[in-house]
Structure 1
Amino acid sequence: MTQPTILLVDDEKANLKVLSELLKKDAHISLAISGQQAIDKSLVFRPDLILLDVVMPKMDGFETIKKLKAIKETSEIPIIFITGLNSADKEKLGLTLGAVDYIYKPFNSEVVKARVATQLKIIRQRNELQKLSQELAHASEIKSRFLANMSHEIRTPLTAVIGYAESILAGEIDEDEQYNAISIINDSGQHLLSLLNDILDISKVEADKLDVALIPTRLFKLIEEVKLLVGDKALHKGIEFNIKCQFPLPSKLITDPTRLKQILINLLNNAIKFTDQGFVDLVIKNTPPFLQFSIQDSGIGINSEDLSKLFIAFSQVNNTANSNVGGTGLGLNISKYLSEKLGGNISVLSKKGEGSCFTVKIKLKEADDSIWFKNQTDIDNAIVIPCNDAKPQKKLKGNILLAEDNKGLRTLFTLILTKLGLTVTIVEDGKQLVEAALVSEYDLIMTDIHMPNMGGVEAMNLIKLTGCETPFVALTANAMTHEITHYLDIGFSEYLSKPIQREKLVHVINHCLGINSRIDEIDIPENNLCQLKNDFLDDLSLDIKNIKNAFSHKNWQQLQFFAHGLNGSSAVFGFKEITKLAAKLENGLQTGEFPTDRLKMQLIIDNLTTTFFSLIKK
């Protein structure tokens, strides 16, 4: 325990020496020989206790205590008067001014030590009570915030469960819509279950009774299950999600698969939650005696002062800037506990605005029949993903008007929509879209946002001015939250981000057309896809030429338009490097980084050209 500090104030140096010798074993001693010096030192050192002589020249003890009590920073420091006076009135005055006790001259060493010890004990108890009070207040605040958060987290899915259940019981939902309603009830119920599991788990953590079951576990089957559970969330936000293996890695280990998945899913969900653009990577490597999982992201990062709060139960950092992200605030605390139960730990490196890296280590104990995978092919040959044939299969019905300026994407979208059973009319820009919508009626209009002649937003506004109530779906490579919110606010019913995911497409069409169908496979012949990719590569040289011309003529608006188009089309056909470069060019123009840094723009365009030539040589 840190020793207390006592300030001794007396104009007689002999008295200071005597008192110092008596008290130096129990406290740090500071000395002052006048009232003003006592005030100055108190402001600087903030002693725990002051022993103050009454009779001193210039400023006596009574005047000194008045001034100390009048200063906010020193008003709470307890003061014991030192006096040779034997006057009840003087003693009463000192106590009235705020002194806690008196020590009389000549000094009785045992009495002095006893009176000082009593005051120091009171000071320690007061400090402990203040600290406890602050901790209780903080805990109360955290738990109040947790309860308020849980109220919201529970009420939202519960409203969906009760609302849809009542509607089904009342016969308000048609039979063909009931599957969708039941799916929503199921999803909401699963969310409620996850919240309840967190709350039950934290109670077990606090009682140290959260058990693990160590059994032989297929590592990459577990990783594939994790990927299926979190991958769609990343795709929905337009975030690149990668699993990176640093070989060799064991095929099977002894661990608790349920608890390991719980840790990884929690950390990956957090990474996706706090990443609006860029990537989330899961990196797996062998670091004897541990197996290490690193979750890296390009998200908002964490303030250094918040890092210490991360693994505290009920705490949520960054909750002011991200109050919409939800959650219990228990996941990291539970994950830390579980990683230790699995023989390892969790650590974090992060910087505000520069992303985060959470590293989980668990004890690596191989199963008896484990082998070591040396490459991705070994993993692919070992994993068998079960099929689910229990879902209902229905063709969709409806007339779709599709506007897309890219020829290859028009062909691909038409193939997909036709395979789903829909009738498709295609146009190339916003002007043609307006003309088509005025001539015929459609069940759904799907339009790219950025097109020549007229964009999708302007076209939608013109069509809606005619009284058309057909739902509109925005097709865009922009998957940022604020952009999506903007599209929905200005009149679009839904959006689809490129590359378009099958399940999302079906969900959007179901929602807009008020139907309930589910298609698990869209069987597009391989030769069709191959031809579309070749057509894309044939047109790619023209796209790059347009980008180069816009750059050389300093036409930044046109350059952004071409970069945006290439970003969307290359993503759909799976050309990741082209997509990455086009996205960098588009984002730089959007944020204002370009055209200021023209050298970096030139480098990106040169890399586009190099990548193009490498593709056509294959």
Structure 2
Amino acid sequence: VQFHAQLDPALPEWVMTDTKRLKEVLCHLLENAFKFTPSGQVHLSIRQDGRHMLFEVQDTGVGIPEAQQAFIFNRFEHADLQTHTRFGGTGLGLAICKGLVQLFEGDIGLQSQPGQGSRFWFRIPLHACEAPDTPLLRQPPAVASTRFSLLLVDDNPVNLKVAGLMCQQLWPDATLHSVNSGQACLQWLQTQAVDLVLMDLVMPEMDGLETTRAIRQSAAPLCHMAVIGLTASSHPQDHAACVQAGMNDVLLKPLDREQLHRSVQAQLLRRGVTHG
């Protein structure tokens, strides 16, 4: 699946918004697009629409029958048994999106044709603002001279891209690798050496917990690998499960740059990764 993103150059450089809620809506829509697009394209566009920002996620996936479109934002269950059987699972992702967009005093909708794909969009008020002057609001500094290697493990290509871009900005001298499953992670680590692994928890077949346990049961030095878990769940039991599996730290998704910076830097310092 190919992913394309387009940002309207007419948008102001800085806007005032709730970034956490905005990321959550975008993540839900993009995850659904990739989940129901076995091949083809997913396209994200962000543009100015009068006094609003318009976000559009368009895919070439299975599409949604017209009869299901009227209530799909009320509770998202897969449109029919065939789709459910093929892709599995149910969720409330689109209902959550609708609720979050309403908190922005915005609106959300879709157009879809079965077999041709879907276009989900939402629109929220545009509040342009000046660049923040407070140092705490600026991006954390990059550890420019720290040389280390990092493996990203996530079955979602959007998450891989976002995490990869963050790491490149924070540590431009780092060597980044990525795989899309727990099994691929274990196979990769059998022949390659890295200093740290960023591990998603929810993956098909072999999840992040099982993969981390397998790493801890491996022979040295692999068993001592630094593993940082990535999860969308803030439940204490889920975080405890990560620690029990052998993860060194757990970060909440959507990723926050400052938290990622602190966590990775702490693991590097513990392992004596030096500036060079």
Structure 1 distance, partners of 2:62, 2:185, is 33
| Counterpart for residue 215 of structure 2 | none
- Whether contact under 8 Å (1:266, 1:331) holds in the other structure is yes
Establish whether residue 503 from structure 1 lines up as the match of residue 178 from structure 2. Answer: yes
Establish whether residue 245 from structure 1 lines up as the match of residue 28 from structure 2. Answer: no
- Whether contact under 8 Å (2:39, 2:61) holds in the other structure is yes
| Aligned amino acid, residue 269 of structure 1 | E
* Structure 1 residues 357 and 505: alpha-carbon distance in aligned structure 2, compared to 1, 3 A threshold: closer
Secondary structure at the aligned position of 1:260 is classed as helix
RMSD (Å), alpha carbons:
3.6
Secondary structure at the aligned position of 1:249 is classed as coil
| Aligned amino acid, residue 517 of structure 1 | A
| Counterpart for residue 294 of structure 1 | 56
| Counterpart for residue 206 of structure 1 | none
Q: Per-residue deviation at 1:393?
A: 4.5
1:256 is aligned, of 15, 18, 21, to 18
| Counterpart for residue 92 of structure 1 | none
Larger Rg: 1
Secondary structure at the aligned position of 1:281 is classed as strand
How do 1:479-490 and structure 2 match up within 5 A? none
Establish whether residue 517 from structure 1 lines up as the match of residue 193 from structure 2. Answer: yes
| Aligned amino acid, residue 178 of structure 2 | E
| Counterpart for residue 45 of structure 1 | none
Structure 2 distance, partners of 1:388, 1:332, is 40
| Counterpart for residue 274 of structure 1 | 36
- Whether contact under 8 Å (1:301, 1:350) holds in the other structure is yes
| Counterpart for residue 79 of structure 2 | 317
* Structure 1 residues 509 and 309: alpha-carbon distance in aligned structure 2, compared to 1, 3 A threshold: closer
| Counterpart for residue 47 of structure 2 | 285
1:168-208 deviations in Å (ceiling 9; x for gaps) = xxxxxxxxxxxxxxxxxxxxxxxxxxxxxxxxxxxxxxxxx
Structure 1 distance, partners of 2:139, 2:75, is 37
Structure 2 distance, partners of 1:387, 1:295, is 34
* Structure 1 residues 271 and 505: alpha-carbon distance in aligned structure 2, compared to 1, 3 A threshold: closer
Structure 1 distance, partners of 2:72, 2:93, is 10
| Aligned amino acid, residue 350 of structure 1 | S
* Structure 1 residues 393 and 293: alpha-carbon distance in aligned structure 2, compared to 1, 3 A threshold: closer
Q: TM-score, normalised by structure 1?
A: 0.24
- Unpaired runs of 5+ in structure 1? 1-238, 371-381, 395-500, 521-618
- Whether contact under 8 Å (1:393, 1:518) holds in the other structure is yes
How do 1:171-190 and structure 2 match up within 5 A? none
Secondary structure at the aligned position of 2:101 is classed as helix
* Structure 1 residues 349 and 389: alpha-carbon distance in aligned structure 2, compared to 1, 3 A threshold: farther
How do 1:53-202 and structure 2 match up within 5 A? none
Q: Per-residue deviation at 1:256?
A: 0.8
- Whether contact under 8 Å (1:309, 1:317) holds in the other structure is no
- Unpaired runs of 5+ in structure 2? 133-137, 151-175, 197-276
- Whether contact under 8 Å (1:391, 1:518) holds in the other structure is no
- Whether contact under 8 Å (2:78, 2:84) holds in the other structure is no
Q: Per-residue deviation at 1:322?
A: 3.9
| Aligned amino acid, residue 115 of structure 2 | G
Structure 1 distance, partners of 2:71, 2:142, is 41
Q: Per-residue deviation at 1:313?
A: 2.5
Structure 2 distance, partners of 1:264, 1:505, is 20
| Counterpart for residue 349 of structure 1 | 111
| Counterpart for residue 330 of structure 1 | 92
* Structure 1 residues 385 and 271: alpha-carbon distance in aligned structure 2, compared to 1, 3 A threshold: farther
Q: Per-residue deviation at 1:345?
A: 0.9
Q: Per-residue deviation at 1:321?
A: 2.3
Q: TM-score, normalised by structure 2?
A: 0.51
Secondary structure at the aligned position of 2:70 is classed as helix
Establish whether residue 305 from structure 1 lines up as the match of residue 67 from structure 2. Answer: yes
Percent identity (aligned): 29
| Counterpart for residue 118 of structure 1 | none
Q: Per-residue deviation at 1:274?
A: 0.5
Q: Per-residue deviation at 1:342?
A: 0.5
Q: Per-residue deviation at 1:517?
A: 3.0
Q: Per-residue deviation at 1:502?
A: 3.8
Structure 2 distance, partners of 1:391, 1:331, is 39
| Aligned amino acid, residue 20 of structure 2 | T
- Whether contact under 8 Å (1:510, 1:517) holds in the other structure is no
| Aligned amino acid, residue 360 of structure 1 | F
Structure 1 distance, partners of 2:55, 2:185, is 38
Q: Per-residue deviation at 1:518?
A: 2.2
* Structure 1 residues 385 and 291: alpha-carbon distance in aligned structure 2, compared to 1, 3 A threshold: farther
Structure 1 distance, partners of 2:117, 2:141, is 32
| Aligned amino acid, residue 251 of structure 1 | E
Aligned residues between the structures: 165
The answer to which structure has the higher strand fraction is 2
Secondary structure at the aligned position of 1:367 is classed as coil
2:128 is aligned, of 336, 348, 366, to 366
1:363-382 deviations in Å (ceiling 9; x for gaps) = 11112448xxxxxxxxxxx9
1:62-119 deviations in Å (ceiling 9; x for gaps) = xxxxxxxxxxxxxxxxxxxxxxxxxxxxxxxxxxxxxxxxxxxxxxxxxxxxxxxxxx
The answer to which structure has the higher helix fraction is 1
| Aligned amino acid, residue 354 of structure 1 | Q
Structure 2 distance, partners of 1:301, 1:282, is 17
| Aligned amino acid, residue 73 of structure 2 | F
Q: Which has the higher contact order (CA 8 A, sep 6+)?
A: 2
1:447-474 deviations in Å (ceiling 9; x for gaps) = xxxxxxxxxxxxxxxxxxxxxxxxxxxx
Structure 1 distance, partners of 2:108, 2:180, is 38
- Whether contact under 8 Å (1:510, 1:516) holds in the other structure is no
| Aligned amino acid, residue 187 of structure 2 | H
How do 1:388-537 and structure 2 match up within 5 A? 393=149, 502-504=177-179, 508=184, 510-511=186-187, 514=190, 517-518=193-194
